[in-house]
Amino acid sequence: MPAEPDLIGGWGRTALTAGYVRRGVRAEQVPEILCDSSLFSARGIVARGLGRSYGDPAQNAGGLVLDMTSLDQVISFDGRAGTVHAEAGVSLDTLMRLLLPAGWFLPVTPGTRQVTVGGAIAADVHGKNHHRDGSFGRYVTRLRLAMTDGTVREVSPDSDPALFWATTGGMGLTGVVLDATVRLIPVQTSSMLVDTVRSGDLDHLLAALEQADHHRYSVAWLDCLARGRHMGRGIVTSGEHAASDDVPVAGPTSRSFAPRAIVGSPSWVPTGLLSRASIAAFNQAWYRKAPRSRVEELQGIGAFFHPLDGVRSWNLLYGARGLLQYQCVVPDEGSLRLILDRISTAQAPSFLTVLKRLGPGTSGPLSFPRPGWTLTLDFPVVTPGLRDLLGGLDAIVAGSGGALYLAKDSRMAPELLAATYPRLAEWSALRDRVDPHRRLRSDQSRRLSL
């Protein structure tokens, strides 16, 4: 066991705590670590992947943190059936590099490729195609789960639906995913055909986003600082995978995929670099730079799905105090308008504001997606008045039947979780059954009494 704890945090780098990180662990060691009651019995254990959750779900103050990135083997890839079987620590980036040249793609990709298979399951991640295709859990056909009693269970949606769906979106608290099999989608190229529409106000933006529903992928970027009649102005992008005929050169090169992070952010950045003024200036420039309307532009997978992966450690741009990401879903347009109005009135600067339509959710009791609008806001933690602003947004979200995304959450109160996840009791009952001694714990589980 590691002798000294490490200070670890989430991608937002807000509430760092000290945990004992066990690195280099192998799959067969996980069950014995989980059931060894001499280890961290009071503080528990949590699995950690690439640390892209914004808040505190992959850290465990005073306890053990299992670094799962050493479970990095792609066990098999079936190029005929279109499935891949990979260990939990394999990143989606690794999978895409392997699959795209063979003409396959992951059915769901979040805003970064730098997440692990285990993390994607634990957070039940969604992407720009959620309105059509649903979240990651829907494509997992089976997984192996190390349980806290030392056993390993083979779990599929058919064999043990309760455990399977409690695990997808379960934030790593039902067991430790060792490996999983994921269904893939066929693609002809590694390019995207992208439409872009600039919308001068919220009405046009929402209409454009609804119109984009027939595209497989769609998302909108918003200028949250725009006020008055410009409130809600933004850019809607939508896309499809490009077919062989759409690209200049067909064949294997059209499916190549080898993106690199081009720019790194410096190791030290003064707090407040991302201020209201600089974010307003960026928003203005970004909005103006976008074409009024453009159709079927060829873009790479990286540029379309994961633009931020091009900048290594971009989270450090928010300075020493870190950033808070707030992602909510609300079922109705009225609540969305209320939320955007609050933010615009407060002039709270969110650097990257993203709006997206969500489709039906899965059966996961703690899975985030549900039909409606999901809004994602990035605030520097030092933003004045942030607590009250977000408290007000919480009330709108809870009142509308919406919810906050646990993979982004770093500040929710336990009462809000209970109010917005109506099937929490069902999940807790299953959790009590599979982990009666609460061996699996995270700072988030402590904060939310999960």
Partner 1 sequence: MINALGEPQSLGVLGGTSQIALAVTAKLCERRTRTVVLAGRDPAGLSAAEAAARGAGATDVRVVSLDALDPSSHQGTVDAMFADGDLDVVLLAFGVLGDQLAAEADPDLAVGVASVNYVASVSLGLRVAKALRRQGHGTLVVLSSVAGERARRSNFVYGSSKAGLDAFAQGLGDSLRGTGVRVIIVRPGYVRTRMTAGLPEAPMSVDAQDVAVAVEKALTSSAEIVWVPAGLRVVMSGLRHLPRPVFRRLKV
Residue among 19 and 31 whose Cβ is closer to partner 1? 19
Residue among 281 and 413 whose Cβ is closer to partner 1? 413
Query: Could you tell me how many residues make up the chain?
Result: 450
Residue among 17 and 69 whose Cβ is closer to partner 1? 17
The footprint of partner 1 (CB under 8 A) covers 5, 7, 12, 14-19, 43, 55-56, 60-63, 320-322, 324, 381-382, 386-387, 390, 410-413, 443-444, 446-447
- The DSSP symbol for 440 reads B
C-beta atoms surrounding 136 within 10 Å: 32
Residue among 59 and 237 whose Cβ is closer to partner 1? 59
Give the Cα-Cα-Cα angle 92, 96, 98 (nearest 5 degrees).
120
Residue 91 C-beta: closest distance to partner 1, Å: 25
Residue 381 C-beta: closest distance to partner 1, Å: 6
Residue among 17 and 362 whose Cβ is closer to partner 1? 17
Residue among 57 and 82 whose Cβ is closer to partner 1? 57
Residue 392 C-beta: closest distance to partner 1, Å: 14
The three-state (H, E, C) secondary structure of 154-187, written as one string: EECCCCCHHHHHHHCCCCCCCCEEEEEEEECEEC
Q: 115 phi and psi, to 5 degrees?
A: -125, 155
C-beta atoms surrounding 449 within 10 Å: 11
Closest Cα partner for 234 from 268, 265, 198, 258? 198
Contacts 24+ apart (CB under 8 A), 210-217: 210/357, 212/236, 212/238, 213/131, 213/132, 213/357, 215/239, 215/240, 216/129, 216/132, 216/133, 216/240, 216/241, 217/127, 217/128, 217/129, 217/192, 217/304, 217/305
- The Cα 375–Cα 386 span in angstroms is 16
Residue among 167 and 442 whose Cβ is closer to partner 1? 442
Listed in sequence order, the DSSP H helices in 260-328 are: 276-289, 301-305
Residue 450 C-beta: closest distance to partner 1, Å: 11
Query: Strand pairing partners for 425?
Result: none
Residue among 202 and 412 whose Cβ is closer to partner 1? 412
Residue 37 C-beta: closest distance to partner 1, Å: 18
Residue 319 C-beta: closest distance to partner 1, Å: 10
Contact 192, 299 (CB under 8 A): yes
Residue among 46 and 208 whose Cβ is closer to partner 1? 46
C-beta atoms surrounding 16 within 10 Å: 16
Closest Cα partner for 273 from 201, 343, 321? 321
Residue 348 C-beta: closest distance to partner 1, Å: 13
Q: Is the dihedral of CA 208, 210, 216, 222 positive or negative?
A: positive
Residue 43 C-beta: closest distance to partner 1, Å: 7
Residue 325 C-beta: closest distance to partner 1, Å: 9
Residue 13 C-beta: closest distance to partner 1, Å: 9
Residue 19 C-beta: closest distance to partner 1, Å: 6
The secondary structure of 203-260 as a DSSP string is: HHHHHHHHHGGGSSEEEEEE-TT--GGGTT-EEEEEEEEPPGGGSSS-SGGGG-----
Query: Strand pairing partners for 185?
Result: 105
Question: Residue 165, class by beta-carbon neighbours within 10 Å (0-12 exposed, 13-18 middle, 19+ buried)?
Answer: buried
Residue among 32 and 388 whose Cβ is closer to partner 1? 388
Residue 18 C-beta: closest distance to partner 1, Å: 3
Residue among 197 and 412 whose Cβ is closer to partner 1? 412
Residue 294 structure tokens: 């453009």
Contacts of 219 (CB under 8 A, 6+ apart): 128, 236, 237, 238, 354, 355, 356
Residue among 21 and 162 whose Cβ is closer to partner 1? 21
